[in-house]
Structure 1
Amino acid sequence: MSAHAVGRGPGADGRAVIVGASVAGVRTAQALRREGWTGPVTLVGDEPHPPYDKPPLSKQLLTGAWEPGRAVLLDGPAAREAGITLRLGSPAVRLDPAGRRVSLADGQTLSYDVLVLATGAAARPSPWRPGSGLHVLRGLDDLLALRRDLELPGPVVVVGGGFIGAEVASAVRARGREVTLVDPLPVPMARLMGEEVGAHFNGLHRRHGAVTAFGTGVESITGRAGALTVRLSDGGALPAATVVVGIGSVANDAWLRDSGIPLEDGVLCDEYGRVPGHLGVYAVGDLARRRLPGPGGPQRSEHWTSAVEQAACVARTITRPSAPSAEASVPYVWSDQYDWKAQIVGAPGGARLHRLIGDPDGSPARFAALYSGDGARLTGAVLVNWPRAMLMARRLIAEEGALAHAERELTATGQVSRA
């Protein structure tokens, strides 16, 4: 099959290889079948486990409310029924675009006509290396190792106050353990939602019995599991049985560095997932650094909803190359922390908070924070325990709705708590 015959529409019978078995890879494989791709579809995963969903790692799986099987996205029988071949437990180690071949760590080589790169992102490595007892949380093996260490008696220290760190702290408290959350910023969530709303998240930790050491960094972590010491930049020291480090992520693109694929902390691609200069090669999910319409440079979107939407877009582009379509998507991410379900839509970061509707201190709390970049249009919102408000805000952002109109719609069902 020639390179120019790839993706000649529904019924295409070329060999599709998808490298990466998280939600973006799985949904791409499934979407290809829905779009009429009849050729072989192979899904490569570096872990031996069946493909699974990752958001529950820091939520239901860490609390123990779920066992791992409940997070499976695609098991063997479902894969066979869909005609998807699973190649698990052997990561891709090299790509030869000229020869259209992917080499795996076990020595096997896969040939392809269409290749989708979906290897996602990994936890940013910890700069601290004690003898044992330190964890990051990005995969199922990380989760299982952390759950084992949480059986050790003693306090837990979480380094990093972003979503992962906050969710881990919440899950640890749900297990009845002492936890201290450390971050160099006085208000960690200010990075995403500004200091005023971020301060309510600070208070959430304290109300649920977590200790916060915000505004101070970590100098060192020493010792072993069960007897660790976390030394802080303000001179303090925290004892810990277990330490969890959540300080961001890095794209899983190291295996592509000698391939000629354009990289920039991820794979550069257009809004349809197409990799420039490499016909038949696409990127999707956390790995994809997309060039989007409008101002701003290429960006990675590490959100579950975005990964699912990108998967559908790439499958349509592969099967209908003459008429690709990319739906305009409003960014969306959620976080479960204690008794709060926080949902963020649009782009509140960098915009100005204009109105807080509802009550952050209620029992239960319910509020919506509205943001605008220009004072006229609604550009972002943070919603807590208010699904209806989230749906309204997402619709209005997509429609480039007026901020005043958003305020009227939301205040019709909530109580204004600040002007």
Structure 2
Amino acid sequence: MIESVVVAGAGQTAAVAARTLRRRGFDGRITLVGAEHDAPYQRPPLSKEYLAGEQDRDELSLLTPDWCECNGVELRLGAAAAAIRPAERSLELADGTTVRGDAVLIATGGRPRRPPGLDGDRVRYLRTIADADRLRAELRPGARVVVVGAGFIGCEVASAAIDRGAHVTIVEQAGRPLGHVLGDPMGDVMAAMLRANGVDLRTGEKVERYAETASGAVLTTAGGTSLEADVVVVGAGMVPNVEPVTGAGIDTAGGIPVDAYCRTGVDGVYAAGDVARQWQPRLGRHVRAEHFDNANAQGMAAAKNILGLNTPHTAPPWFWSDQFGHGVQHAGHADGTDRLVVRGRVEDFDFIAFYLSGDVLRAAFAIDRGGDLAIARQLIACDAALASDVLRDEDADLTDLFDALS
């Protein structure tokens, strides 16, 4: 019988897991262990509304200390998880103390990837609220901002910086933004949107040297281009915080592998959120998703399965991004698809693109088509086979397509 749960991590996944445990009637001890000193807060706004100055700090809160006190959730903040001891069902903290739990959930998230040589007084990485506070103060009119990496974080930072009057250059090593996720055609659309909004986008460029002077920073690319900056923001991906499970008999290559129930394979030990690689039967491999919706869904599933409710998480991944006044969304996995069907006007950044494997819908990408994307997620989840001409037809209601399959 589970009488206590300890969670390594105090972010989105941990907060959702704690709320789910209480809502499902669990009255045992819950302990959340977090490396930061702040109570659990939302991270997506750090590169969106909060960074742009449109949201206050208190609006980011996930679990307030008052809520935790009223609901019997212990917050151990400023104490990173150092090691898990599966045999003892305990978590050893960096300060030398130990917390025991009948079940242990690893929700340690990740940290920014730091390319060699990109470090200095003018270099910023965005992961915590402290990072966002510092960067927000530097995004001012006329500031020269160079963003390294054209992933979603890099593009969102560029959007916030442009909105605040800064001059923005993005340096991306690949041939187009997000091509590895969206494919070349939609990657080109993202590039067009960035350039249309005033971003100086440099693709196929790798930063080779970085130096700082009294007046700013200078980045030199492999092609010999020199870029001057007042602030440099690096968005080069994330490294999962797997260190607590090292030596615990759990694979840690690229994240912690789990099944659909967020189980690690070690009895009583679960993993969820950015640190977890979940088995995807459609792809035949484990996949790690660094997105808010995934953190929510896996945190909820892990909590339910800790309680023995046998609830798999099988929904296709979904993420969204707000950039330059547009809502950008993606669902499913585009890997292995062989056709792309577009509904709407790509040139107006008002469309949805469907990724098909044969006639089966596997993924969708949309700009300012949130309603269509919501239906597409449901069609992806049921492996819907759909005709290209129907998907392309603006007069064909996607809801009717889903209803016909139900």
Superposed pair shares fold, TM > 0.5: yes
* Structure 1 position 290 matched with structure 2 position 278: yes
Alignment of 1:205-244 (within 5 A): 205-223=194-212, 227-244=216-233
Deviation at 1:153, TM superposition (A): 5.8
* SS, match of residue 366 in structure 2: strand
Alignment of 1:318-397 (within 5 A): 318-320=306-308, 324-362=310-348, 365-374=349-358, 376-397=359-380
* SS, match of residue 52 in structure 1: coil
Deviation digits for residues 246-273 of structure 1 (CA, Å, limit 9, x no counterpart): 1111110123223333322222222111
Cα distance in 2, alignment partners of residues 263 and 75 from structure 1: 32
Cα distance in 1, alignment partners of residues 269 and 40 from structure 2: 22
Cα distance in 2, alignment partners of residues 168 and 51 from structure 1: 22
Deviation at 1:327, TM superposition (A): 4.0
Contact 2:81 2:91 in 1 (8 A): yes
Read off the aligned partner of 1:271 and give its amino acid letter.
A
20-29 or 140-149: which moved more? 140-149
User: TM-score, with normalisation over the residues of structure 2?
Assistant: 0.92
Cα distance in 1, alignment partners of residues 384 and 281 from structure 2: 19
Deviation at 1:87, TM superposition (A): 1.0
Cα RMSD after superposing both structures: 2.0
Deviation digits for residues 145-180 of structure 1 (CA, Å, limit 9, x no counterpart): 222343596311000011111111111101110010
Alignment of 1:104-115 (within 5 A): 104-115=93-104
Query: Could you tell me which residue of structure 2 aligns to residue 307 of structure 1?
Result: 295
Cα distance in 2, alignment partners of residues 200 and 349 from structure 1: 18
Q: Which runs of 5+ in 2 are unaligned?
A: 398-406
Alignment of 1:20-419 (within 5 A): 20-150=9-139, 154-223=143-212, 227-276=216-265, 278-320=266-308, 324-362=310-348, 365-374=349-358, 376-404=359-387, 407-408=390-391, 411-412=394-395
User: TM-score, with normalisation over the residues of structure 1?
Assistant: 0.90
* SS, match of residue 248 in structure 2: coil
Change (3 A) 1:212 1:81: same
Read off the aligned partner of 1:317 and give its amino acid letter.
N
Aligned residues: 397
Deviation digits for residues 8-50 of structure 1 (CA, Å, limit 9, x no counterpart): xxxxxx1111111111111011111112211111111110111
Q: Which runs of 5+ in 1 are unaligned?
A: 7-13, 415-419
Cα distance in 1, alignment partners of residues 356 and 326 from structure 2: 24
Read off the aligned partner of 1:336 and give its amino acid letter.
D
Deviation digits for residues 376-407 of structure 1 (CA, Å, limit 9, x no counterpart): 11111111111211122112112222231783
Change (3 A) 1:252 1:29: same
Read off the aligned partner of 1:387 and give its amino acid letter.
G
Contact 2:11 2:42 in 1 (8 A): yes
324-333 or 176-185: which moved more? 324-333
Deviation at 1:195, TM superposition (A): 1.6
Change (3 A) 1:404 1:117: same
Sequence identity of aligned pairs in percent?
Answer: 34
Query: Could you tell me which residue of structure 2 aligns to residue 10 of structure 1?
Result: none
Change (3 A) 1:195 1:261: closer
Cα distance in 2, alignment partners of residues 226 and 137 from structure 1: 23
Kindly report structure 1 stretches of 4+ aligned residues shifted beyond 6 Å. Answer: none
* SS, match of residue 378 in structure 1: strand
Contact 1:154 1:226 in 2 (8 A): no
Cα distance in 2, alignment partners of residues 318 and 130 from structure 1: 41
